[in-house]
Structure 1
Amino acid sequence: MKFNWTSDEATTLGITFTNNEKDTVLKNILPKLQNFKNCLKSWHHRKLTLIGKNTVLKTFALPKLIYVLTVLPNPPNDVINDIKSAIFNFIWDGKPDKIKRTQLIQSVENGGIQLTNIDSFLNAIKCSWVKRYLDNTNTSKWKLFYQKILKKYGDSLIFECNISNTIVHEIANENIFLSDVLSAWSDVTHNLKTQTSSKTILWNNKDITSNNKTFFYKDWFERSIKYVDQLYDYRIKDFYSFDNICYIYGTSSNHFLKYYTLIKSISIILNLKSIQIIHLMYSNNICRKHT
């Protein structure tokens, strides 16, 4: 079977690939962006309410962008801003905004029309890959490819961790698509996490560092050591001794330095949180005295 190899570009599954990732994104998104604008323009002459325009946007226009935004890295900021401009030009018939954009994206109950927030829309699309990745029945080759990358950081554990932009770039290592997925997941889940300090995950945690680097001890994780409270003895209100850790979890006796480096970093964050709580309690007491 003969193949004609090319150094320019190739198209498969509706996506044209070039030898430059950024060019690939632009080559695929710009025609779809034009289709998106044309769709909105075709409805421009109709007298629609804000809710009607929002329905057109969600039902007919945005679907034209979903596929390329799902399978490729996010487009550059100027393209994202172009999408936003097209939306609000359509909403206000090319005139200045009459209602704050932050208000329009709110729910109807909160005085908005649930207008699509493009930044949140992009995050949601990229986060959909996490759901696919965490599906245990999924044995796709793309998943196997990313498992090799994430294995060093605990594989699916990374989606439970409090990761920083630094570790996102370290993990992705110039893989822009993976970087977008991890950043989106971190943004979306950041405000949902209300863990106490004891239930804080030890590994890949941006708040638990040594020399600006997070921790991940693969052999410890494989022994089910995951949370701060697993290292803490509540009877004496202090961390377990290294000997006790070895006895409880069967860790190597050669990891003395690793253990004390870790708990020193944990102590720093716990002390900072304790100080914040004391300051908050003090402020609340002052407020009560003046009311």
Structure 2
Amino acid sequence: MLTFKLCVVPVTVSAKYLKQLIRILFRFLWGSKWERVKRTTLCASIEEGGAGMINVENYILALNLKWFQKLLDESVVANWKQIEAPYLRGQRVNAFLNATISLNRAEVKRVLPLRTLRHTLVSCIQTLNLLKTKSTKRTLWLNKKIKYQSKTFFMKPLIDSGVMLHKHLLTNEGEYETYDNLALKFNFQANNAEFIQFIKLVSSLPEQWDSENYIDPQTTQSEHLLNFIKDTNSVKTIYTKLQDSVARVPVKSQEFWKNKLFINFEMPWREVYINNFNSTIENRLRSFQIKLNLNAIVCNQILHSFGKIDSDLCTFCKNATENVYHVFYSCHVTRTRVPLTLPPVNLLFGVHNGGSGDKLVNCMLLCARYVIYQCKYSENKPTVFRFVCFLNSVRVSECHVSKKRGNFLAYRKKWCRLLCTEV
């Protein structure tokens, strides 16, 4: 229902409500108030090392941008466009997008009384800021540097005819055009009321603009925006583009594992992330591996530093400080009870041979890691029997899900080396 409302009418979502909604989502994700990874990292795609968590703010921006795209698209015919379209004729879109004052100010409301349209333009400006586009600093309209009696300027005839920038007021020699010559040059109807406003505008221009050389960006803000949202058939496409521009690759965790595991080669992190994710359809395993990728598994070393437990010693061996590397690899209890003779990088991140990897092998390694993780919190010793039982439960679960989804052949292809028949 909320998505439908935001799609049809771009209503304003209060900052307080949005903040509470995002907090609830991330508390549900972590199961506590303690967020161990930056939200921008978690909102990145699986391939980039994130969890594919929805970025609510960007999703709302995408909904508003899609609505704005329909508004500007002349091929889309709708009765509701007769209300908004007159306010965006000519170059008025550029005037609003290049504004250096808030679009919620009273002087803007006088020229743009529609609240939904103002909110959508604010979303467009937020998008341009996310994309870090370069806007002109010498726009004439709604510019806080150009004021007369504390009010900015917005002259519709000049805007509709294309007079947008300081350079448009100048002749080839760098002198200011007269009002009549400007009207002939840009083909608009001159009148006395606008002439008085023009005189006030020229007298309010900053003096340094006349002495400084400045080159305006070749691409306008509306062109930046239209290039961004063109050829997008859905809100999801726009949202994906926004996420690609703001998502952050977990460089810190990658460097941690590279140093901890003494990796002296170029680690194919993208393959590691996607292959481990695709090795199983069990969400608990996928969630666990994402936490491991981001070094977000909580061990006794961290809990002891927070004062939550009395000792930082390993739950299994009671001899060494417990951290992620120790629990899953260097602990002698783990290595003897779950004997996997693999290098630590393969034990923690699977086997990848420059392609999609071996799904069964990576799934088995992931199950082994998860069993060790479960035994740590239940304070039981990890054993081969526990691993086999858990692996079988994963196999049975995937069997039921694949039958329900009509994807049983993929299940057979993955598990055929362990099974001869499937009842």
TM-score range, shorter chain: 0.5 to 0.7
* Contact kept? 1:201, 1:226, Cα under 8 Å: yes
Amino acid at match of 1:227: L
* Contact kept? 1:246, 1:253, Cα under 8 Å: no
Q: Among the aligned pairs, what percent are the same residue?
A: 21
Amino acid at match of 1:211: Q
SS of 1:75's partner is coil
How has the CA–CA distance of structure 1 residues 209 and 118 changed in structure 2, closer, same or farther, with 3 Å as cutoff? farther
Report the Cα offset of residue 92 of structure 1. Answer: 0.7
Question: Does 1 or 2 have the higher relative contact order (CA < 8 Å, sep 6+)?
Answer: 2
1:135 aligned residue? 73
- Show the 5 A alignment for 1:43-192: 65-72=2-9, 73-105=11-43, 112-113=50-51, 115-148=53-86, 150=87, 156-158=93-95, 160-162=97-99, 164-165=101-102, 166=105, 168-171=108-111, 173=113, 175-190=114-129, 192=132
Pair 1:266 & 2:198 matched: no
Report the Cα offset of residue 159 of structure 1. Answer: 5.2
TM-score normalized by structure 2?
A: 0.41
SS of 1:214's partner is coil
How far apart are the structure 2 equivalents of 1:172 and 1:256?
23
Instruction: Kindly name which structure, 1 or 2, has the bigger radius of gyration based on alpha carbons.
Output: 2
How far apart are the structure 1 equivalents of 2:168 and 2:180?
14
Deviations 1:46-95 (A, max 9, x none): xxxxxxxxxxxxxxxxxxx4223323413333432332122202221235
Amino acid at match of 1:119: E
Pair 1:194 & 2:134 matched: yes
How far apart are the structure 2 equivalents of 1:169 and 1:223?
22
What RMSD in Å do the two structures reach over aligned CA positions? 3.7
* Contact kept? 2:169, 2:177, Cα under 8 Å: yes
1:17 aligned residue? none
Structure with higher strand content = 1
How far apart are the structure 1 equivalents of 2:99 and 2:126?
10
How has the CA–CA distance of structure 1 residues 168 and 220 changed in structure 2, closer, same or farther, with 3 Å as cutoff? closer
* Contact kept? 2:98, 2:135, Cα under 8 Å: no
Greater mean deviation of Cα atoms: 123-132 or 72-81: 72-81
How far apart are the structure 2 equivalents of 1:94 and 1:100?
15
Pair 1:248 & 2:203 matched: no
1:228 aligned residue? 166
Report the Cα offset of residue 179 of structure 1. Answer: 3.4
How has the CA–CA distance of structure 1 residues 253 and 126 changed in structure 2, closer, same or farther, with 3 Å as cutoff? closer
Deviations 1:82-117 (A, max 9, x none): 321222022212351111324434577986555333
Report the Cα offset of residue 131 of structure 1. Answer: 0.5
How far apart are the structure 1 equivalents of 2:110 and 2:50?
39
Report the Cα offset of residue 260 of structure 1. Answer: 2.5
1:55 aligned residue? none
How far apart are the structure 1 equivalents of 2:207 and 2:47?
43
How has the CA–CA distance of structure 1 residues 90 and 273 changed in structure 2, closer, same or farther, with 3 Å as cutoff? farther
TM-score normalized by structure 1?
A: 0.56
* Contact kept? 2:180, 2:190, Cα under 8 Å: no
How far apart are the structure 1 equivalents of 2:112 and 2:161?
26
Aligned with residue 148 of structure 2, among 210, 215, 236: 210
1:239 aligned residue? 176
* Contact kept? 1:246, 1:252, Cα under 8 Å: yes
SS of 1:262's partner is helix
How far apart are the structure 2 equivalents of 1:233 and 1:221?
18
How has the CA–CA distance of structure 1 residues 151 and 122 changed in structure 2, closer, same or farther, with 3 Å as cutoff? closer
How has the CA–CA distance of structure 1 residues 268 and 106 changed in structure 2, closer, same or farther, with 3 Å as cutoff? farther
* Contact kept? 2:141, 2:152, Cα under 8 Å: yes
Report the Cα offset of residue 231 of structure 1. Answer: 1.0
Greater mean deviation of Cα atoms: 128-137 or 251-260: 251-260
Gaps of 5+ in 2: 214-423
Aligned with residue 196 of structure 2, among 226, 250, 257: 257
How has the CA–CA distance of structure 1 residues 231 and 97 changed in structure 2, closer, same or farther, with 3 Å as cutoff? same
- Show the 5 A alignment for 1:19-58: none
Report the Cα offset of residue 137 of structure 1. Answer: 1.7
How has the CA–CA distance of structure 1 residues 71 and 164 changed in structure 2, closer, same or farther, with 3 Å as cutoff? farther
SS of 1:233's partner is coil
Gaps of 5+ in 1: 1-31, 33-64, 275-291
How far apart are the structure 2 equivalents of 1:97 and 1:120?
20
* Contact kept? 1:123, 1:184, Cα under 8 Å: yes
Q: Give the count of matched residue pairs.
A: 207
